[in-house]
Amino acid sequence: MKVIGIMSGTSMDGADLALCDVQFNGSEWTARIEAAKTYPYNEKWRVRLSQLKYQNPELYAKTDVFYGHYLGELVNTFCKEIGAKPDLVASHGHTIFHNPEHRLTAQVGDGASLSAICGLPVVSNFRRADVALGGQGAPLVGIGDELLFPEYDSCLNLGGFCNISAEAEGKRVAFDIAPCNIVLNRVARELGQSYDENGQIAESGQIIFPLLNRLNDIEYYKQKGPKSLGREWINKGFWHVVRDFDQEPAADRMKTLVVHIARQIGASLNALHGDNGAGRAVLVTGGGAHNTSLIDHLRAETEAEIVVPEASLVDYKEALIFALLGAMRVKNVPNIRHTATGASRASISGSLDGDFSNLI
């Protein structure tokens, strides 16, 4: 199949669209990116999505539909720009609520609206089935990491949050490690920048050790996986600690956050692989992989080999994997690993909208 994978992450940079060639030969899945583009959110969309959790039910329902229309229009624009005629769209949507302990996860981007606008069959709503089965509903990329990148001992994504999947004790495990770009971008915006390009702000700062110690003592880091994070946790369990140091220079807070994130990732890698990660290869993708300061500090925290691939894979790996998950859903095979999420069993996840008669 030719599948457009769509990913919108918590860092809210924009919507990532990737046209992917997904193949299954009866025993093995493969997928590769043929073309990809990020469509940045304008300020109206960024504010609406970030504030939607505080709004009334009617506005939530309207945004679900309007955002589905918006994604459908992006698909049409993307297809026109690259001259493609895909078979399928697989859309992650944009997460507004994520509280799996209460069986709740919600992503806007109505699949029926998306399908109606672009005229293609759509798979969406990937997380809810896993959460209904008692899972975290995140991270879902573990099965894609396992099938597409078996040469790596673990795969690390540095997006709004940093998450990891790895082979451990004969099974695929995955969990969110810590916040990443979602908190780094907040500090960057204080300085009039949307993000810390190449980690330049962090490199100009000094570590605030009292802040670093308090961040490292946050209870979440002591929990065993499967576990996941959401925006709600940032506001309740993390950001108030950073705000206690508002009087410190923004560059110093940025440096401290980068060191904190690198330390938590290093600790997770070393715990998963033992021997401080020596001899293990780690594939690193997501926007944070462009942050040279973060990558340098990470390399100081582990002896594992930190591999940053070509830019297309760095930026669009999650869109690629959701394209794979969509194709697997159409073929009615399990596309969520319960060992990675803590659900009671594996599941075939994703809601179907549109005409699938030529695909099933």
> pTM of the full predicted structure?
0.93
Mean pLDDT across 52-78: 97
The domain spanning residue 153 has which CATH number? 3.30.420.40
Do residues 308 and 190 both lie within one domain? yes
Mean pLDDT across 84-112: 95
> Could you report the per-residue pLDDT of 148-158, keeping only the tens digit for each?
999 999 999 99
- pLDDT band for position 349 (cuts 50, 70, 90): very high
Report the alpha-carbon distance of residue 61 to residue 25 in Å, rounded: 40
* pLDDT at residue 235 in the model: 87
Pairing state of beta strands 2-7 and 88-91?
A: parallel
* pLDDT at residue 109 in the model: 98
* pLDDT at residue 2 in the model: 98
Report the alpha-carbon distance of residue 118 to residue 315 in Å, rounded: 24
> Could you report the per-residue pLDDT of 251-282, keeping only the tens digit for each?
999 999 999 999 999 999 999 998 999 999 99
Return the number of other C-beta atoms located less than 10 Å from residue 202's C-beta.
Answer: 26
The answer, yes or no, to whether residue 348 has pLDDT greater than 90, is yes
* pLDDT at residue 169 in the model: 77
* pLDDT at residue 183 in the model: 96
Do residues 195 and 275 both lie within one domain? yes
- pLDDT band for position 133 (cuts 50, 70, 90): very high
Do residues 161 and 286 both lie within one domain? yes
Helix (H, G, I), strand (E, B) or coil at 29: strand
User: Within the chain, how many helices (H) and strands (E) appear?
Assistant: 14, 13
* pLDDT at residue 12 in the model: 82
* pLDDT at residue 108 in the model: 97
Helix (H, G, I), strand (E, B) or coil at 171: strand
N-to-C CA span, the chain? 11
How many folded domains does the chain comprise?
A: 2
Do residues 292 and 156 both lie within one domain? yes
237 DSSP assignment: I
Do residues 43 and 153 both lie within one domain? no
- pLDDT band for position 81 (cuts 50, 70, 90): very high
- pLDDT band for position 106 (cuts 50, 70, 90): very high
Do residues 194 and 111 both lie within one domain? no
The answer, yes or no, to whether residue 26 has pLDDT greater than 90, is no
The answer, yes or no, to whether residue 20 has pLDDT greater than 80, is yes
* pLDDT at residue 10 in the model: 82
Position 199 in a domain: yes
Position 359 in a domain: no
The answer, yes or no, to whether residue 171 has pLDDT greater than 90, is no
Listed in sequence order, the DSSP H helices in 14-165 are 43-51, 57-82, 111-118, 128-132, 142-148
Position 358 in a domain: no
Tokens of 274: 């033992």
| φ, ψ dihedrals at 304, nearest 5° | -65, 155
Report the alpha-carbon distance of residue 276 to residue 194 in Å, rounded: 34
* pLDDT at residue 223 in the model: 93
The answer, yes or no, to whether residue 147 has pLDDT greater than 90, is yes
Name residue 117's amino acid.
I
Do residues 209 and 300 both lie within one domain? yes
Return the number of other C-beta atoms located less than 10 Å from residue 7's C-beta.
Answer: 26
Do residues 39 and 149 both lie within one domain? no
* pLDDT at residue 27 in the model: 87
Do residues 156 and 304 both lie within one domain? yes
* pLDDT at residue 286 in the model: 95
Q: Any idea what the Cα angle at residue 264 is, between residues 263 and 267, rounded to 5°?
A: 85
Do residues 179 and 217 both lie within one domain? yes
> Could you report the per-residue pLDDT of 198-256, keeping only the tens digit for each?
999 999 999 999 999 999 999 999 998 899 998 889 988 999 999 999 999 999 999 99
Do residues 74 and 219 both lie within one domain? no
Domain carrying residue 158: 143-313
Among 20-34, 83-97, 160-174, whose mean pLDDT is lowest? 160-174
Position 84 in a domain: yes
- Mean pLDDT (the chain) is 95
* pLDDT at residue 231 in the model: 86
Report the alpha-carbon distance of residue 134 to residue 263 in Å, rounded: 30
Exposure b/e, 206-228, CB count within 10 A at least 16 = b = eebeebbebbeeeeebeeebbbb
Exposure b/e, 123-145, CB count within 10 A at least 16 = b = bbbbbbbbbbbbbbbbbbbbbbb
Position 360 in a domain: no
> Could you report the per-residue pLDDT of 307-318, keeping only the tens digit for each?
999 999 999 999
- pLDDT band for position 355 (cuts 50, 70, 90): very high
